[in-house]
């Protein structure tokens, strides 16, 4: 296991995308786990999905901060694509650790709205890298995605695999982030770690994700479409496991070392964070419906068969995602392990309460 070389206590930590699903949960966990932290959050609060969920997440952070007197929380509403804003945040707050989770998410949306992906995921990330270049940080951690594996046939996906064939613009922007981070790590000695997240789910998640969208549709009596005729497998990873992985990774910045040829290697790493147990979509839907009935979101006699439709694969999608997490286990002694039923139960209970079903 790697030794911790970044102490998060008494530090200023910048979290971009702080009102997002993973961002909010990470901020809450940092407040719980560390003393005297000053967390600076930035989020543009765009309306890609229901803004009230982002506002709910921010209210949860406000609540947690009010109970932790030694910690500070500054929230800035703005875009990481705004270079002047990002530079001013770094100049004013001088973060020691940066976690870049701000991005335009979603594979399908990238097919019809490419501009926002270029702005947030490329220009925005470039601004973060430039700011780290001129305001040195102890560690830059950033979100990549399992989508970088594209249509790779070999499973489970390993970070040693070639990832040169993205099947969506979203995936291409995430791969670009890894390439940019590598160049900046090499040129300017910025310790950076990229995290390839696998299908993150949980309470107060993103409504564009299948489990959330299915729930909304079933509640309205609409049909849900199951792509590739149900022959898709997804490595569903509960948000608490993702956050635990991020937290552990934050505490070890990659160190400069020499390669086999004696030349220096950049302080750069990439890890998968996934559950390593792909679930068939039909099984996933079956567990989801059981948990929605248990939480009384849907009635016990709900006719699911009448509301299911098996359809062909969508553009930009892949048939399977499956994480090889051996490097994460070896370096950090951690492996996501929350069973799908446990995670979906927590989501169903949150959904009932949030929407007052």
DSSP for 8-50? -TT-EEEEETTTSHHHHHHHHHHHHH-SS-EEEEEE---TTS-
Q: Which residues pair with 39 in a beta bridge?
A: 13, 73
In three-state secondary structure terms, 308 is: strand
Q: Tell me if 117 sits within 8 A of 173, measured CB to CB.
A: yes
List the helix and strand counts (H, then E) for the chain. Answer: 12, 15
Q: Tell me if 143 sits within 8 A of 348, measured CB to CB.
A: no
Which two three-digit tokens encode residue 325? 């997490």
In three-state secondary structure terms, 339 is: coil
Compute φ and ψ for 261, nearest 5 degrees: -90, 5
Active-site residue among 149, 170, 271, 351? 170
Please calculate the CA angle 41-44-46 and round it to the nearest 5 degrees.
Answer: 140
For residue 126, indicate whether it is catalytic. no
Q: Tell me if 170 sits within 8 A of 106, measured CB to CB.
A: yes
Q: Known catalytic residues?
A: 170
């Amino acid at each position: 296991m790697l030794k911790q070389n970044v102490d998060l206590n008494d530090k200023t930590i910048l979290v971009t995308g702080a009102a997002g699903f993973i961002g909010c949960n990470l901020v809450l966990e940092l407040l719980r786990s560390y003393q005297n932290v000053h967390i600076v959050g930035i989020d543009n609060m765009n309306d890609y999905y229901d803004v009230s969920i982002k506002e709910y997440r921010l209210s949860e952070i406000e609540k947690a901060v009010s109970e932790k007197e030694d910690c500070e929380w500054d929230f800035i509403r703005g875009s990481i694509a705004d270079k002047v804003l990002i530079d001013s945040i770094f100049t004013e707050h001088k973060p020691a650790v940066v976690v870049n989770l701000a991005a335009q998410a979603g594979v399908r949306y990238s097919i019809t709205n490419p501009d926002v992906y270029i702005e947030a995921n490329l220009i925005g990330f470039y601004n973060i890298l430039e700011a780290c270049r001129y305001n040195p940080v102890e560690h830059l951690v950033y979100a990549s995605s399992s989508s970088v594996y594209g249509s790779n046939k070999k499973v489970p996906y390993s970070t040693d695999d070639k990832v040169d064939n993205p099947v969506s613009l979203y995936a291409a922007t995430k791969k670009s982030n890894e390439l940019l981070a590598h160049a900046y790590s090499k040129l300017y000695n910025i310790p950076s770690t990229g995290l390839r997240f696998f299908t993150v789910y949980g309470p107060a998640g993103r409504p564009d994700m299948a489990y959330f969208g299915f729930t909304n549709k079933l509640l309205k009596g609409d049909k849900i479409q199951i792509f590739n005729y149900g022959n898709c497998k997804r490595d569903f990873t509960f948000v608490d496991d993702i956050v635990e992985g991020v937290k552990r990774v934050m505490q070890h910045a990659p160190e400069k070392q020499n390669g086999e040829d004696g030349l220096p290697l950049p302080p750069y790493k990439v890890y998968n964070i996934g559950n390593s147990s792909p679930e068939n979509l039909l099984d996933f839907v079956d567990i989801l419906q059981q948990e929605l009935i248990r939480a009384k979101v849907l009635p016990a006699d709900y006719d699911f068969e009448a509301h299911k439709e098996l359809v062909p694969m969508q553009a930009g999608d892949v048939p399977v995602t499956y994480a090889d997490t051996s490097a994460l286990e070896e370096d950090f002694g951690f492996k996501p392990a929350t069973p799908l039923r446990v995670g979906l139960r927590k989501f169903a209970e949150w959904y009932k309460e949030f929407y007052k079903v």
